[in-house]
């Protein structure tokens, strides 16, 4: 079987591992933070740039570059906010990290805070993650008791606080500007950009919002030779290992840590153990429910940002949902459209109306009221959401619609050909 490459899951895969602060320190924890405290913040950002890491939340924006955009000398405090509002359907990797190795992520958050000059970092955790919230709160308590948080962590003189903030159930709050509104105590509405959060974020102060997994990579990247090693784990521009959430009709669903030069076919048939009950593969939603669907013929491709983009789809949050030959893709799309109709924040008309219309049209097919005209209409409603909204939720709702119609037109026709 194809082996995992263990950077983030090094501790988690060790059955003896004790996730307490003492256990994390014993496994070599906080060595990178100690080293970072001896560096200039701008050199830390430079190392992160050199590692080539791209954000693991879905957009794949280079993290080092994001940090370098932080407005300086504004006279206001700077903030680092960890995005732990993991809500993209199919994605369950940050939960693993927070539950099973909280200190790895928190060390990463501390490294990031030092790099951008943040003295109070927030972790925005989705409200439904009750167990993760408890684990993180106890871990933060341990850090304060040890002196690793507070006025003088590791004798650095760098005052640092961390607060675990609980969300309350809204997919849209994973979008960074909606997350910041929510953190401020408001409804989670995406903001007009610019200004970007690096200029005006939390309470109008310079802010960087980074995904949990991205931050959890920092202790490795900042270790000796870490940036170079990180780069070697994948093709150019697709650095590092990453966590793949594998779900659906495979024999071994799970969260796996893989290099970025692994073939998607091997993830399904080798790591995932193939399709369950000896069925054939019909298709894969490769990177969270918003990524364009792929058919069984298209899965012979390296699973990373750029190779998937070349195939007209995206890796997103690396959440692969595999479905077999018996799956009714119209029903599947109906479930996806219901999700976006439920989660649209209602601010922009194309998304608020489009998500509901598309759900309704897909339901028409299911109730025997489909037609060629409606198939075209469905595609058009999708098209009208693309790029016409303040945030990416409109695109996220449109991409599955347009790709399902394009890749599986006969499945829709089946519904009305019989009728």
Give the binding site for other proteins (CB under 8 A).
Answer: 77, 86-92, 94-95, 126-131, 161, 163, 165-171, 182-188, 203, 245-249, 253-255, 285, 289, 319, 321, 323, 327, 332, 335-336, 339, 342-343, 345
β-pairing, 161-166 vs 207-211, is: unpaired
Q: Minimum Å distance from CB 132 to other proteins?
A: 9
Q: Nearer Cβ to other proteins, position 107 or 181?
A: 181
Q: Minimum Å distance from CB 18 to other proteins?
A: 22
CB 181 within 8 A of CB 187: yes
Q: Minimum Å distance from CB 97 to other proteins?
A: 12
Q: Nearer Cβ to other proteins, position 36 or 351?
A: 351
Write a three-state SS string for 22-54: HHHHHCCCCHHHHHHHCCCHHHHHHHHHHHCCE
Q: Nearer Cβ to other proteins, position 127 or 235?
A: 127
Q: Nearer Cβ to other proteins, position 143 or 183?
A: 183
Run of H or E including 366:
helix 349-366
Q: Nearer Cβ to other proteins, position 258 or 345?
A: 345
Q: Nearer Cβ to other proteins, position 44 or 250?
A: 250
Give the Cα-Cα-Cα angle 231, 319, 361 (nearest 5 degrees): 140
Q: What is 292-334 written as a DSSP string?
A: PPEEGGG--SB-SHHHHHHTT---TT-EEEEEETT--HHHHHH
Query: How far, in Å, CA of 173 to CA of 85, rounded?
Result: 7
CB 354 within 8 A of CB 382: yes
Q: Minimum Å distance from CB 190 to other proteins?
A: 13
List residues bridging with 263 in a β-sheet: 302
Q: Minimum Å distance from CB 158 to other proteins?
A: 19
Q: Minimum Å distance from CB 105 to other proteins?
A: 15
């Amino acid at each position: 079987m194809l082996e995992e490459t263990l950077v983030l899951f090094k501790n988690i895969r060790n059955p003896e591992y004790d996730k307490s602060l003492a256990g994390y320190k014993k496994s070599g924890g906080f060595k990178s933070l100690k080293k970072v405290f001896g560096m200039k913040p701008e050199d830390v950002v430079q190392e992160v740039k050199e590692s080539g890491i791209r954000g693991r939340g879905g957009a794949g924006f280079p993290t080092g570059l994001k940090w370098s955009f932080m407005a300086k000398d504004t006279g206001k405090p700077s903030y680092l906010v960890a995005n732990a509002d993991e809500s993209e359907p199919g994605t369950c990797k940050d939960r693993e990290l927070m539950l099973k190795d909280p200190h790895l992520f928190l060390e990463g958050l501390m490294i990031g805070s030092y790099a951008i000059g943040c003295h109070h970092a927030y972790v925005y955790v989705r409200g439904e993650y009750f167990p993760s919230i408890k684990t993180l709160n106890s871990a933060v308590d341990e850090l304060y008791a040890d002196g690793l948080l507070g006025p003088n962590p590791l004798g650095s003189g760098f005052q640092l606080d961390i607060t675990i903030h609980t969300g309350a159930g809204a997919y849209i709050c994973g979008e960074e500007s909606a997350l910041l509104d929510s953190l401020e105590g408001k409804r989670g509405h995406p903001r007009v950009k610019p200004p970007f959060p690096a200029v005006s974020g939390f309470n109008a102060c310079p802010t960087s919002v980074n995904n949990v997994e991205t931050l959890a990579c920092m202790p490795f990247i900042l270790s000796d030779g870490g940036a170079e090693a990180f780069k070697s784990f994948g093709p150019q521009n697709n650095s590092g290992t990453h966590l793949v959430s594998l779900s659906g009709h495979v024999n071994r669903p799970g969260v796996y840590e893989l290099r970025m030069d692994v073939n998607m076919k091997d993830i399904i048939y080798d790591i995932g153990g193939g399709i369950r009950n000896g069925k054939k593969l019909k298709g894969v939603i490769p990177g969270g429910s918003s990524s364009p669907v792929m058919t069984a013929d298209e899965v012979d491709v390296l699973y990373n940002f750029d190779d998937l983009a070349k195939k007209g789809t995206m890796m997103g949050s690396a959440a692969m949902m595999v479905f077999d030959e018996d799956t009714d893709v119209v029903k599947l799309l109906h479930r996806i459209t219901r999700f976006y109709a439920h989660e649209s924040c209602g601010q922009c008309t194309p998304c608020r109306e489009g998500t509901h219309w598309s759900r309704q049209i897909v339901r028409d097919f299911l109730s025997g009221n489909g037609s060629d005209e409606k198939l075209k209409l469905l595609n058009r409603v999708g098209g009208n959401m693309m790029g016409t909204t303040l945030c990416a939720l409109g695109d996220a709702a449109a991409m599955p619609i347009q790709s399902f119609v394009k890749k599986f037109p006969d499945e829709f026709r089946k519904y009305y050909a019989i009728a």
